[in-house]
Structure 1
């Protein structure tokens, strides 16, 4: 056995499916075995592996044991001459494994190897090659000097940014997303250190491989896509703490006492520094827009008041100066709180919510105006004029910033994305149908043929005309059919179009998911039939509330209701099961073949079929009903079903 591929998965089912499709194509050129270790995912990953990839060696953990321990579980069973640790959010080329194994065979001094990685938009990922994070290297990285001076041999050591990304280099640290290692090197230096739960374990093992007398290489002659779907968002303070604490573990383990102390101190300073920046940034982001709104509204009252005084009273100083100093700021607070509670400060910007908030502010001002002492009442006309100005100024401010594409001021305008699908007729049509079912706002520009032999009425060009097709048709997004294109062809197309502002997605064969650019955690990067339905956190919450509410109603009414049921014990058990969270009142119709492609639900007492008791259900109808329930969930649907089929609540 030449190669053992190990993939640790945690709640990224659709990315895992795409990864495995690419891996299975690539192992045809290499003697290999594949392990998937699942860390107790709750997204249906285990069902996916068992149903679609039964020949893969599957280890299903009943708890999240962490990245290091999960990998070690498989390494201990691996028989390959080389061990590859591969992230589930990756796509490899068909010849990736052959190329890296051939290189390792030709370089017996090599203990580890990493490859060129790009993100979902085709941009090179600097973590493809890294230096050892010594105290000073870490200091330069944490305080931004490495970003300011990327070509400096002194400041650019963290990502070795001064090295050509298209040439083979000896490096210090391999990226955990694709970490190929010689088994004899691991036998000598040991497996991953399980002290590292997340982050840092790749640095530690890379360093130990070097300490064992081996070399680590960066190998750019093959490229993989890495969607960078980590369990903690890199922009968050939690990520900073977790990652840098992993660096402290590394320092204490490998650096002499004094150096480790300095390193730990630098990291603590970095954490506090990042925390200060993060908190300051959040405060500024929260207050800057309301502050501008307040100033604009005040400016309007300041200009309008003397004009109104001259027109109505014949002099500009009719109202006391306290009106502008104290009363107008109170009005402004009412407007700002109205916008806040209306959701007008949420992103993307909704002009409707802003206008609604100003109206709420006006109503509040008028209510208070009617209640206060007459000496604090000024002009209703000024209030109405100020409200008109406030609406105009605040809306114009948003429109201008949207027009100039200022970050954070994009309007909530749901414009359809213009999409083109690259693939043969049959598969392109299947992907088109998935798009239609996902409820994504999109406009299909047409299909792009792979060559001259497979064109239909919806085709707008060939793959070799991709750049021109994008420009002429103003395409926003390209979807590649992985059934028809190799991973290498997809990656090459993405690399060729790096400079264009285009999103890319890949539709794996025989799947209802379409996976795309940049990150697992970014909304819209995963199109799937259930994309806007029961899988949403808000819908899960609604479903659970409906379950609890009806369970309590049935429990309170049970002294009366129980006499309507033959299986009285089952009725009470079902109430208990729903209240404890082990069951739901509504689940999928049993004996369906779609469970592996739908969001996980607890087993239900009732199901969508109970809505149509007169209907004879075959497999196709069962599948359709389950998909409709999952895709277009409504709390009212559950409530209506319970009221219609309440006599079946004693079902086992």
Structure 2
């Protein structure tokens, strides 16, 4: 029987938590659920205590950032595969299993993701992605992708077909535990955004492939944690700067820093 650890990081998720937890509260032996709360001040912690065993969660006194908490959650588990899923992303065990099966059957594939949909059923463009370069980021930030120019996200047509990609949606993906540990987990210098793309870049650098499964679907509400939008913008800016400092040439970093002043 294939088994995996399911890791989610909560922060002020009272509005989506019960819906998220519902598929994972059964006695299904295929998975273990692990939750790390990053200092929620709403009813999130009370909801977790009411529905989970005390061995399934850890509560941080303050917000340590996603990367640190996700590493913490991964360390609670022990199965060969780790599923990272946002608490505003809805899927069940039968959705996860095909991705885990693919990793089992394809040893050179290190990470797998799926088609991620909005609540209304429309595709989220970030379901299958290309890794950031200066030109791709410029196309995305300027809106030129609306003219058909290829930016970070692949087209809806590309999303219809399963295959190998540079990156998948960070709201839900599966990674081999041995690879995750080999890479040192998430880079905790990313405050919130781009830590997933950094992990995927390092997965490819290590010689593994990333697989997108178009026939597996999840619903993602996006932005359901009550965090100030100005703070999220700051974290995104810091995240992309960190990504470029690690993976892109200096001239791209220089231009990016000036571009971020405009957008």
TM-score (norm 1): 0.38
Provide the rounded CA distance (Å) in 1 between the counterparts of 2:155 and 2:56.
38
Does structure 2 retain, via aligned residues, the 8 Å contact 1:68–1:193? yes
Provide the rounded CA distance (Å) in 2 between the counterparts of 1:232 and 1:137.
29
| 1:69 aligned residue | 68
Does structure 1 retain, via aligned residues, the 8 Å contact 2:119–2:220? yes
| 1:5 aligned residue | 6
Q: Quick check: 1:204 aligned with 2:203? A: no
| 1:57 aligned residue | 56
Q: Deviations over 1:405-429 (max 9, x none)?
A: xxxxxxxxxxxxxxxxxxxxxxxxx
Q: In structure 2, do the counterparts of structure 1 residues 230 and 171 end up closer, same or farther at CA, with 3 Å as the change threshold?
A: farther
TM-score (norm 2): 0.91
Q: Deviations over 1:456-482 (max 9, x none)?
A: xxxxxxxxxxxxxxxxxxxxxxxxxxx
**Equivalent residue runs for 1:430-469 within 5 Å:** none
Aligned-partner SS, 1:33 = strand
Q: Quick check: 1:23 aligned with 2:17? A: no
The partner residue of 1:213 within 184, 207, 210 is 207
The Cα of 1:199 is off from its aligned counterpart by: 0.5
Provide the rounded CA distance (Å) in 1 between the counterparts of 2:70 and 2:190.
12
**Equivalent residue runs for 1:589-604 within 5 Å:** none
Aligned-partner SS, 1:13 = coil
Does structure 1 retain, via aligned residues, the 8 Å contact 2:191–2:238? no
Provide the rounded CA distance (Å) in 2 between the counterparts of 1:240 and 1:52.
33
Does structure 2 retain, via aligned residues, the 8 Å contact 1:2–1:31? yes
Aligned-partner SS, 1:196 = coil
Root-mean-square deviation over aligned CA pairs:
2.2
| 2:236 aligned residue | 243
The Cα of 1:259 is off from its aligned counterpart by: 3.2
| 1:474 aligned residue | none
The Cα of 1:206 is off from its aligned counterpart by: 0.7
Unaligned segments of structure 2, at least 5 residues: none
Provide the rounded CA distance (Å) in 1 between the counterparts of 2:261 and 2:253.
18
| 2:40 aligned residue | 41
Q: Quick check: 1:105 aligned with 2:94? A: no
Provide the rounded CA distance (Å) in 2 between the counterparts of 1:54 and 1:77.
13
Does structure 2 retain, via aligned residues, the 8 Å contact 1:176–1:202? yes
Q: In structure 2, do the counterparts of structure 1 residues 77 and 21 end up closer, same or farther at CA, with 3 Å as the change threshold?
A: same
The Cα of 1:238 is off from its aligned counterpart by: 5.0
Does structure 2 retain, via aligned residues, the 8 Å contact 1:23–1:92? no
Q: Deviations over 1:125-156 (max 9, x none)?
A: 1111110111111111111111221xxxxx32
Provide the rounded CA distance (Å) in 2 between the counterparts of 1:54 and 1:166.
39
Q: Quick check: 1:124 aligned with 2:117? A: no
Aligned-partner SS, 1:203 = helix
The Cα of 1:205 is off from its aligned counterpart by: 0.5
Does structure 2 retain, via aligned residues, the 8 Å contact 1:116–1:128? yes
The Cα of 1:114 is off from its aligned counterpart by: 1.0
The Cα of 1:214 is off from its aligned counterpart by: 0.5
**Structure number with higher strand proportion:** 2
Q: In structure 2, do the counterparts of structure 1 residues 146 and 168 end up closer, same or farther at CA, with 3 Å as the change threshold?
A: same
Q: Deviations over 1:213-272 (max 9, x none)?
A: 1011111221111110255789x565444313311111011223333323x33xx32x33
Aligned-partner SS, 1:105 = helix
Q: Which one scores higher on RCO, CA 8 angstroms, separation ≥ 6?
A: 2
Provide the rounded CA distance (Å) in 2 between the counterparts of 1:43 and 1:68.
22
| 1:180 aligned residue | 174
Provide the rounded CA distance (Å) in 2 between the counterparts of 1:52 and 1:229.
23
Larger-gyration structure (1/2): 1
Aligned-partner SS, 1:50 = helix
**Structure number with higher helix proportion:** 1
Does structure 1 retain, via aligned residues, the 8 Å contact 2:16–2:88? yes
Q: Deviations over 1:371-417 (max 9, x none)?
A: xxxxxxxxxxxxxxxxxxxxxxxxxxxxxxxxxxxxxxxxxxxxxxx
Provide the rounded CA distance (Å) in 1 between the counterparts of 2:74 and 2:202.
17
